[in-house]
Chains A and B, each alone.
Chain A
Amino acid sequence: MKLSRRSLLQFGALLGVTIAGGGRSARGGPKNILSDDRMGVLVDTTVCVGYRNCEWACKKAHDMSTLPIETYENRDVLGQFRRPNLESLTVVNEFPSDKPIPIDVKVQCMHCDHPACVSACIVGAFSKTEKGAVIWDSDKCIGCRYCMVACPFQIPAFEYNKPIQPRILKCDFCVHRTANEEKPACVEICPVEALTYGRRHDLVKVARERIRKHPARYVDHIYGEHEVGGTSWLYLAGKDFKKIGFPRNLGNNPAPGVSESIQHGIFAYFMPPALLYALLGSIMWMRRKINHEESASDGKP
C-alpha cells in the first residue's frame, strides 16, 4: 500500500492528538480526594441583608479580636469594597441594584475543588480535605506567598506586620467545628439563613430548584458550580456576577490546570533536555556543514 501525502498528514494529526490527550491527564491539579459527600455552602445573595453577623461569628470562632456584635450594625463600612484580610477572614460587600434594596455579597475562600494554592505551595503545606475544605499547615509554611499569587479569588492574607514566623491566613471552612458535626460559624449565626451548609451535590440541586421556581429573582447561573473546575462555596444572585465583585473570565478549567499541564506535560516526556540537545546538535551540524562548504570553496583556485 502506498502512503499518500494526505493519509500521512492524517496520521500525523492523530499522533499529535494522542500525545496532547495524554498530556491532558495531568490537568486538573493535584490528585485531590474529591468525595461525592464533600460539603459546601450555598450563598443566596438575594436573601443576605448585610447584617455582618457572619464577620463577627468568624472572628469569635477563630479566637480573633473583635468589637462587640452590636457595632456590626453600622453599615458605613459597606460603602467601600473590602477583601478578606488579617483582621477578618470573611467580609460582606454591598453593591447597588436595580431594585429598591442593594445586593450584599459575603466574600471568603471559595474552597476550590482543584485549588491553585495547593498546586502552587512548594512545601506541600496546603491540602484539600475529603470534606471539601482547603486547609494549610502553618508549621510547614515557609512564607513564600506563592498561594497568594496563585489564588484566582485573591483570598490568602499574609502577616506582613510580623517579622518572626509570619502566617498565611484565610477561611478554613471551620474545620474544627465541622469535625464535631457543627455548622461553620458564619452559617450558624446568619439570621436570614442566606447561607446553607450541606452536601455540595444537594446544594447544587437546591440552587437549581430556586432558579426554576423564581426565574425573575435569580440570574440563571450558580457561581462556583463550574468556575475554575468547581468550588465548595456556591453563589446565587439576582444580578450578573461580574457586577457584584466576582472575578471576571476565570473560565471553567481548574486554575492550576494550565501551569501544571505545561510542567507535567514537558517533564513527563523528558522533552526539555531532548529538545535542548537536539537544538544544540542541529546548530553544530549546520555550522559544520557551512564550515565544510566554506573550506571547500576556499580550497578552489
Chain B
Amino acid sequence: MKISLVILLFFPLTLCAQHSERSPSSGLNCKSCHSCEYPTVTNPCLVDCPREDLITIRHGVSSGPNMIVIDRFRERYGPVVFSHRLHAEMADMGGGCESCHHYNTTGPVLACGSCHEPGSGSMELGMPGLVAAYHRQCMSCHREWQHTVECQSCHALSGDMKMAAKGLGELKAKEHKRISEPTKVVFKTRSDKGSQVTFYHDQHSKLFGMSCTMCHEGQGCVRCHDVKKTVLTETPVSSMDGRTTEEKHKACFSCHENDKCSNCHSDVETKPFNHAVQTGWVIKKYHSNLSCRSCHGSGNRFVRVQSDCGTCHSLEKKGSFRHEVTGVRLDDNHLGFACEDCHSGNRFDKVPDCSTCHDDKSWPSDRPGIPWP
C-alpha cells in the first residue's frame, strides 16, 4: 500500500524530469497528438489526429517497389499483380504518393495492411478493412476510366496463375487508351481584345516540346484517358466566369506573360506558328531537324536568337562543322580554313569574300567545292 502511494506521488515527478517538447523517435511535438501536459498509458488525452498535416512521403518514384503481388486472400482469388511503379509514375503527375498512401505519418511508407485490418470489417467503426481498402483505392480510378467493375480485370480466379506469370505483359492490355490530341482548340472568350484565342495544341506539345503537365497540372488522369472518350470536350466560356485575369491566363502566362494581348486574342481564327512569318527567319535544311530548345534555351520562355550564326556556331572547331548542310561541300583545299577566312566578321548571311586570298575568283561563279547534295 505504502509503495503504491509512493509511486503515485513520485510518478508525475519522474515524468517531469524526462519531459521534453519533442518525441525523440519521431521528432514530433508532443502537443501535435496529446492535449494534456503529461499523457499516460491510461489517459493518453489524444487530440483529433492531425493526420493530414503529418503526411511526410516525399520521395521519388523509383524508391518504391516496382511490382507488388497481392495474394493474401489466395483461397478465393489468384494473386493480383499490381504495377506499383507504373501507378506511382501516374500519381506523380497528380497528387503524388499521398493520393494512395493517405495519412502516412512520419517514418517509413506504410503498406495498406499496416492500418487496414485483414479481411472485411474493422475494429474502428467506419474504417474499411483491407479488402475494402484495396477495392476502394483501385476502383475509385478504374471505375472512372474503364467504366466497369469486372472482378477479372484485376483478379485471376484462384488456380489461374497465368496472370501472375505473364506479369507486365498481361498488364499491357490494360493500359490507358491513348488519346489523339486536338490539332487546335479555338477558345471563345468575352475579351474586348479579340473574341477568339486559337490555340494550336499539337504545336505546343510536339513542336515546342511542352509536357502535358505543364498545363494540365493536377487535373486527374480521367480528363483525357477515358475508354469512352474519343474527342476532348471543349471548355465552355462560362467556366471562366468569376475568375480573375491571372487565373484565366494561368496556363498561358507561364510562358506568354510578357506578350501582347493580340499575340493570342483575335476576332478571327489565327494561323499556326510559322517560323518564317513570325520571326522573319526561314528554317530550312539542317535547322529544320532541330528542336526549338536546341536554339532557344531550356527555360519556359524561348530566348530570342541573334541572326548572327556565331551565336550558336562560334564554338565550332575547324573542320567539325559539316559545311555541306549549307549546300556546298568544301574541297580539301578549303577544309582547313577558319570560318572567318571566307565569312569576314562571321557574317554568314553575307556573300563569302573570296578576295582575301584570290584575285581572280568571286562568289558564286567560283565555289570552293562542289554543290551539295
Which A positions have Cβ atoms within 8 angstroms of B? 42, 47, 49-51, 73, 75, 100-101, 183, 188, 190-193, 196, 198, 202-203, 206, 209-210
Contacts and interface: CB of A to CB of B under 8 A. Distances in A.
Interface in B111-150: 120-121, 125-126, 128-129, 131-132, 135-136, 139, 143-145, 148-150
B150 A73 contact: yes
Q: Which 10 A-B pairs have the closest CB atoms?
A: A193-B132, A206-B126, A193-B128, A100-B144, A192-B135, A198-B125, A101-B143, A49-B149, A191-B135, A192-B132
B149 A50 contact: yes
A47 B136 contact: yes
Interface of B: 120-121, 125-126, 128-129, 131-132, 135-136, 139, 143-145, 148-151, 222, 226
Nearest to B124: A206
A193 B149 contact: no
A73 B125 CA distance: 28
Nearest to A51: B149
Nearest to A193: B132
A101 B129 CA distance: 23
A73 B129 contact: no
A191 B131 contact: yes
B183 to A, nearest CB: 25
A261 B121 CA distance: 42
B222 A191 contact: no
30 contacts: A49-B135, A49-B139, A51-B149, A73-B149, A73-B150, A73-B151, A75-B149, A100-B145, A100-B222, A100-B226, A101-B143, A183-B121, A188-B120, A190-B120, A190-B132, A191-B132, A191-B135, A192-B128, A192-B132, A192-B136, A193-B120, A193-B121, A193-B131, A193-B136, A196-B125, A198-B125, A202-B125, A206-B125, A206-B126, A209-B126
A69 B129 CA distance: 22
A206 B126 CA distance: 6
B310 to A, nearest CB: 55
A203 B149 contact: no
A209 B126 CA distance: 10
Nearest to B226: A100
A203 B125 contact: yes
Contacts of A73: 149-151
Contacts of A190: 120, 132
Main secondary structure, interface of A, reads: loop
Contacts, number: 51
Contacts of A75: 148-149
A193 B125 CA distance: 11
Contacts of A101: 143-144
Nearest to A47: B136
Contacts of A202: 125
Contacts of B226: 100
A192 B142 CA distance: 14
B50 to A, nearest CB: 12
A187 B135 CA distance: 15
A213 to B, nearest CB: 9
Contacts of A196: 125-126
A188 B121 CA distance: 8
Nearest to B223: A100
A183 B120 CA distance: 11
A78 B165 CA distance: 35
Contacts of A192: 128, 132, 135-136, 139
A49 B143 contact: yes
A38 B166 CA distance: 51
A42 B126 contact: yes
Contacts of A191: 120, 131-132, 135
Contacts of B144: 100-101
A73 B129 CA distance: 22
A202 B126 CA distance: 10
A59 B121 CA distance: 21
A196 B150 CA distance: 23
A51 B139 CA distance: 12
Nearest to B133: A193
Contacts of A210: 126
Interface centre among B120, B126, B144, B145 (most CB of A within 10 A): B126
A183 B129 CA distance: 14
Contacts of A100: 144-145, 222, 226
A198 B123 CA distance: 11
Nearest to A198: B125
A51 to B, nearest CB: 6
Nearest to A194: B132
A5 to B, nearest CB: 60
Nearest to B150: A73
A76 B251 CA distance: 41
A193 B120 CA distance: 8
Nearest to A52: B149
Nearest to B157: A70
Given A51-B149, A101-B144, A191-B132, 8 more contacts: A47-B136, A50-B149, A73-B149, A73-B151, A190-B132, A192-B128, A193-B121, A198-B126
A112 to B, nearest CB: 22
Interface centre among A47, A49, A101, A202 (most CB of B within 10 A): A101
Nearest to A104: B149
